[in-house]
Amino acid sequence: MNYYIEVTLMENDQFSPYELWSQLYPQLHLALVEAKNADNKVNIGFSFPQYHFHQDKGVGFIGTKLRLFAESEADLKKLDIRRWLERLEDYVHVTSIREVPNDIKNYAIYKRKQVKTNAQRLARHRVKRGDIGFDEALVRYSNVVTKTNFPYIEMKSLSTSDQQSEKRFKLFIEKQPAEKTKTQVFSTYGLSSVSSVPEF
């Protein structure tokens, strides 16, 4: 990753950082959806320079900065992130494209941590397959419910068209130290379980 853009959430009286992330991240997601390849992957990865998570206390914070990394300057120009964040221009600062420093020693993987939080929802979904009943599915899924305290961004499902059934979900983000990776493949959330981004 040779180039990056930094997005900073600006302090304001109208929105908390938590609320701003909920406005900002769907726009970033849409930008990456437009940039994805045939395999639904993108070559732009995100980092959260102020991210911290205290495992022992079970608390964390994403911070107020985001970096978008790409191998080439052309990839970031093509993404045209300012266009996607236009309606938030009073609340975020977007830098120009910059070169990643040469002396990077640390890398990290930022990945989505999916958790199964609702046994009834999982059971209803399983019943739709038609192979077991609701009670049996509920028994099976009551043991797989998991929880996490990783920092998250509250998201609204963009695949739901009906306003009445607007679905919200928590996009949990886990950070892991990593070595520099050769592959640079990210999801449409800018996250990856295998590709690292520079830390500085």
pLDDT at 159: 61
Residues 6+ away with beta carbon under 8 Å from 175: 48, 51, 53, 108, 109, 110
pLDDT at 161: 52
pLDDT at 164: 47
Closest CA to 173 of 115, 106, 118: 115
pLDDT at 162: 52
Report how far apart, in Å, the C-alpha atoms of 27 and of each of 101, 133, 197 are: 27, 39, 21
Distance CA(175)–CA(156), nearest Å, equals 22
Domains defined for the chain, CATH in brackets: 3-113+149-199 (3.30.70.2540), 116-147 (no CATH)
pLDDT at 169: 85
pLDDT at 79: 95
Most distant pair of Cα atoms in the chain: their distance? 58
The answer to whether the beta carbons of residues 89 and 65 sit under 8 Å apart is: no
pLDDT along the chain (200 residues), means of 10: 97 93 95 89 95 89 97 96 96 97 96 76 78 80 70 79 65 95 93 96
pLDDT at 146: 61
